[in-house]
Amino acid sequence: MALRIGIILGSTRPGRRGDQIASWVLDVARAHGGADYELIDLADHRLGNLDEGLNPSLRQYEHPHTHAWSALIESFDGFVFLVPEYNHSFPGALKNALDYLYREWNDKAAGIISYGGRASGVRAAEALRLVLAELGVATVRAQPGVPLIPTFATGGFVAGDGLDTAVIDMLDQVTGWARALRGVRETEPGQASAA
């Protein structure tokens, strides 16, 4: 079965620039291959503020939107998070989406592409790594960054020199770790054996 990698657009902000970057990343990923890639736009899921009464590790969800989010995230072997930097961290909408679930994130691989001002969103990526580690997500070393200037100097997204290579390097790491961690998930108690 082919690996499934979700590309999560971590901003729901009106006027965001991430949708242009996400579309480009999806094209690069599909051309690269190695997995089936799907764009997950948080704005499409309308999770709202966390409204589940029980700890997400119990997977006893009350609301249909949580069940749908759970099924979607469970279906992937790994993720690429596209995250902007807001006030030296990542957006609350992404933190909220992560907090809705727990086991669905466990033992999966992830890469992070950040974007922002002069530092290309690197502080958001580093803050996100801490949260992903607590969720049992293995983040890869390669971490492409996109500076908003000059990337959007013409108004639309124009990939800078070497960005495609950096994204491909990250995808190689994500797919390699996702494949290895699939084996880990298959040998956990309660999971079907691969043998």
User: pLDDT tens, 4-51?
Assistant: 999 999 999 998 999 999 999 999 999 999 999 999 999 999 899 999
Report the pLDDT value the prediction gives residue 194, as an integer from 0 to 100.
Answer: 36
Mean pLDDT (the chain, rounded): 94
Report the pLDDT value the prediction gives residue 150, as an integer from 0 to 100.
Answer: 77
Q: How far is CA 127 from CA 1, 95, 130, 177, in A?
A: 33, 10, 6, 21
Structural domain boundaries of the chain? 4-186
- Mean pLDDT (whole number) for 79-88: 96
Contacts of 106 (CB under 8 A, 6+ apart): 135, 136, 137, 185
Superfamily of domain 4-186: Flavodoxin domain (3.40.50.360)
CA atoms within 13 A on the CB side of 122: 9
Is 110 in a helix, a strand, or coil? Answer: strand
Selection from 74, 68, 94 nearest residue 6 by Cα: 74
Answer for the pair 142, 169: CB distance below 8 angstroms, yes or no: yes
CA atoms within 13 A on the CB side of 151: 22
Is the pLDDT at 91 greater than 90, yes or no?
A: yes
118-122, 152-156, 169-173, range with greatest mean pLDDT = 169-173
Report the pLDDT value the prediction gives residue 191, as an integer from 0 to 100.
Answer: 56
User: pLDDT tens, 108-129?
Assistant: 999 999 999 889 999 999 999 9
CA dihedral 133, 137, 140, 146 (to 10 degrees): -80
